[in-house]
Amino acid sequence: MKTLYLIAVGLMLVLSGCACTGTTSSSWFADDSLKHAQKGKLALSAFQCSTYSKYMDKPKEQERLFKLGYKAGIDFLKAFKANKIKEEDLKNNVPLVGVMLLQGPSEDFILGRMFEYMTGVATDDIFGTAEKHNSDEFSKMIAEDKFRKENCKFLEMGS
């Protein structure tokens, strides 16, 4: 994983300047880098919340959150591949698992890995790993509680 960070940092040095008015390219890069990194976290959170919505029987919210996760994930991966995210922003804003899943033949493949992992996390949150399976009603109550605690209804794409 350290190699992945070093490669990303090395490639970022080749970025060209910004044509933004009133801003230096280094401050532009810092602000943009942070926004791109935060989209990685947003993608993971939205995928997790989408799973909670599924068990709450809220298909519209499930779809909204899935699409949000997909869009944020695509934006994040494109920025990552274009070396627009500083190592520090990546480390401080994207959970380690999100960074560990950044390998694969395509953006959709990588997003599929992220979705699958976060679905597993959410499902474990709801059903646990106990031998006894929760009732549907109790599982729905747990999903609703997790949805509230994770502030899922507030997730949206920033500027």
CB 9 within 8 A of CB 20: no
Res 159: pLDDT? 59
Does some domain include residue 89?
yes
- Structure-token match 């280094």, residue found: 26
pLDDT tens digits for 64-78?
999 999 999 999 999
pLDDT at position 98 over 90: no
Q: Domain of 147?
A: 32-151
Q: Is residue 13 part of a domain?
A: no
Is 68 exposed, middle or buried (CB count within 10 Å of its CB: 0-12, 13-18, 19+)? buried
- Domain membership of residue 11 (yes or no) is no
Number of domains within the chain: 1
**Cα Rg of the chain, angstroms:** 18
Residue 135 located in a structural domain: yes
The verdict on residue 7 lying in a domain is no
- Check pLDDT > 50 for residue 42: yes
Q: Which amino acid is at 153?
A: K
In a domain, residue 156? The reply is: no
Residue 12 in domain: no
What number is the average pLDDT over the span 115-138? Answer: 85
Structure tokens at 119: 């679905």
pTM: 0.77
Confidence check: pLDDT of 157 > 90: no
Per-residue pLDDT, 65: 98
pLDDT tens by residue, 1-34: 333 333 333 333 222 232 333 333 444 455 899 9
The lowest-confidence range among 13-17, 49-53, 55-59, 75-79 is: 13-17
Task: Provide the pLDDT for residue 136.
Answer: 85
> CA of 110: how far to CAs of 31, 101, 102, 103, in Å?
25, 7, 6, 6
pLDDT of residue 10: 34
Residue keyed to tokens 């694969």: 104
Is 119 within a domain?
Answer: yes
